């Protein structure tokens, strides 16, 4: 839309179903490149992507023509299909239902990018669940811990 000017930066966090640690170092860079392509094809700008074996962090400059939920649907759905098509795992791959989306101002971007780039270091000290709950509390998001994570039964 003409004369529309925005600056929207969203930090997405989402996990492998049941928080299984199955994103392998052998193919995670390819996964990140594939997700970067999804973001670019939806006319958004990838600022950072990284994660560990059970979850991913993405920082995106969002264009307002697409909703956050539609973008996440494309990222999770298309990357799951790609992982399964390439037979990276013996079993079927799925992302956990839901995601976190946290907004930041331009002045905060360097700190967020640094945080995302250093995921392996952060997770030597605390679990994904601890990290995720810290985000929810920092952003004052009401949550019920029973519904944040599906446990493997």
Q: What range does the domain containing 28 cover?
A: 8-147
Name the strand (E) or helix (H) holding 118: none
In a domain, 3, yes or no: no
Tell me the CA end-to-end span of the chain in Å, nearest whole number.
48
Total structural domains within the chain: 1
- CA–CA gap between residue 92 and residue 47 (Å, rounded): 29
pLDDT, position 70: 98
**Residue range 93-106: mean pLDDT, rounded:** 96
Burial 64-98 (b: 16+ CB within 10 A, else e): eeeeeeebbebbbeebbebbeeeebeeeebebbee
Global pTM?
A: 0.91
pLDDT, position 122: 81
CATH code of the domain containing 55: 3.30.70.1290
In a domain, 1, yes or no: no
In a domain, 18, yes or no: yes
Share of the chain above pLDDT 70, in %: 97
**Residue range 10-17: mean pLDDT, rounded:** 96
In a domain, 128, yes or no: yes
In a domain, 137, yes or no: yes
């Amino acid at each position: 839309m003409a004369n529309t000017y925005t600056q929207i930066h969203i930090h997405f966090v989402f996990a492998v179903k049941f928080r299984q640690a199955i994103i392998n170092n052998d193919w995670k860079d390819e996964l990140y490149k594939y997700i970067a392509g999804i973001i670019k094809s939806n006319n958004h700008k990838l600022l950072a992507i990284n994660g560990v074996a059970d979850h991913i962090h993405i920082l995106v400059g969002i264009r307002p023509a697409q909703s956050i939920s539609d973008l996440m649907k494309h990222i999770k759905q298309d990357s799951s299909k790609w992982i399964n098509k390439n037979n990276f795992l013996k079993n079927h791959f799925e992302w956990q239902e839901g995601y976190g989306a946290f907004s930041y101002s331009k002045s905060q971007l360097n700190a967020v990018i640094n945080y995302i780039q250093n995921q392996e270091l952060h997770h030597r000290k605390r679990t994904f669940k601890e990290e995720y709950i810290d985000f929810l509390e920092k952003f004052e998001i009401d949550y019920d811990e029973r519904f944040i994570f599906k446990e493997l039964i």
